[in-house]
Homo-oligomer: A and B are copies of this chain.
Amino acid sequence: MRNIKLTVQYDGTNYHGWQIQENAVTVQEVIENSLKKLTGIKPRVSGCGRTDTGVHAQNYVCSFKSESTIPCDRFPYALNRFLPEDVVCKKAEDMDPEFDAHKSAVGKTYSYLILNSQYSDVFYNNRAWHYRYKLDFDKMKKASEFFCGTHDFIGFAASGFTVKTTVRTIHHINMEKKDDLIKIDICGNGFLYNMVRIITGTLVFVGNGKIDVNDIPDIIESKDRKRAGITAPACGLYLSEVYY
């Protein structure tokens, strides 16, 4: 039995996130159905994590067991014939039996796009947060540095999910601005529910002056969700990389 790792890109606009649920189309379901068409057997695909409705992925990783004899270099072409056009398999790799896309992951990078312009851009509909008011990028960049390191991020998590610990380590945050587009890359060992979107919303509140950049350490320390910024919309969020 092979243990196959897939790297997949998807536009999350038309999906209710990754994980299979009743009465809603999810990316996991679409991939499992396509694998059934390709290999004859519907596998249970293990994903590297949940993504919310409307969240995108550049390099989502999932894995499944299969008796398929299709070699890895042909696998993406073969699978893409069955996938809808907003989900693309970019890579297939044979892994050791113990590899699991979720349990083996040691870190991830998420990216967030903010379109900071007077008018929206049709080519960023559903792909960036259109924020029309002035943002001070330099202050946002300075604020982002305070999030790096190991902290209890419970003040930057949505409720409703149970985890053993709310302590996470952010390895680094990279921020770039090109024309009207701000890109935030956050690399860490793990993320709480909505953590990237709440950090982004907090950086936007620094950018628009609602939060003082020097208050960020105190806000993190307070562990108080109410002191952080809003939850940035799902459409600007991309799962960029998963590390093993």
Binding site for B on A (CB under 8 A): 9-11, 56, 76, 80, 85-90, 119-123, 125, 127
A80: chain B residues within 8 A (beta carbon)? 119-120
B76:A122 contact, CB within 8 angstroms: no
B122 touching A88, Cβ below 8 Å: yes
A10 partner residues in chain B, CB cutoff 8 A: 122
CB-CB nearest in chain B for A125: B85
**Which of B11, B56, B76 meets A119, CB within 8 Å?**
B76
- A236 vs B80: C-alpha distance in the bound complex, in angstroms? 21
Residues of chain B contacted by A120 (CB below 8 angstroms) = 80, 85, 88
Complex contacts, A76 vs chain B, CB 8 Å: 119
Q: Which residues of B contact A87 (CB under 8 A)?
A: 122
For the complex of A and B, the 6 pairs showing the least CB-CB separation, nearest first, are A11-B122, A86-B122, A90-B119, A85-B125, A9-B122, A88-B122
A54: min CB distance to chain B, Å = 14
Nearest B residue (CB) for A8: B122
Most buried by B among A56, A122, A123: A122
Contacts of A56 in B (CB 8 A): 123
